[in-house]
């Protein structure tokens, strides 16, 4: 499935060792862990979910099954907060 960063609502960047997202609607900053930052970065590059999982498996040396579970959960949270959309 393809998702994209909701650029009408959020800006995100890496600051030092962490990722940060700015929610323009709520006027708040949200710190991102490495995994969430990588997911947003790869979605911003146009990767679909399967390519994203493949890339994260390489980056973090995790099994495909565990990565798929974690990505599904993370995407659900990002979509719920309207940071990403289909």
Q: What CATH number is given to the structural domain containing 39?
A: 1.10.10
Q: Given a cut of 80, is residue 69 above it in pLDDT?
A: yes
Number of domains comprising the chain: 1
Segment 1-11, tens digit of pLDDT: 799 999 999 99
Domain span holding position 23: 4-85
Count other C-beta atoms under 10 Å from residue 16's C-beta: 6
User: Is the CB of residue 5 less than 8 Å from the CB of residue 43?
Assistant: yes
Segment 1-53, tens digit of pLDDT: 799 999 999 999 988 778 999 999 999 999 998 889 999 999 999 999 999 99
């Amino acid at each position: 499935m393809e998702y994209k960063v909701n650029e009408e609502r959020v800006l995100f960047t890496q600051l030092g060792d962490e990722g940060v997202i700015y929610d323009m609607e709520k006027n708040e900053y949200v710190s991102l862990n490495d995994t969430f930052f990588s997911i947003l970065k790869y979605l911003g590059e146009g990767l679909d979910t399967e390519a994203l999982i493949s890339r994260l498996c390489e980056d973090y040396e995790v099994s495909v099954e565990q990565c798929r579970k974690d990505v599904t959960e993370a995407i659900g949270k990002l979509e719920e907060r309207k940071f990403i959309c289909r």
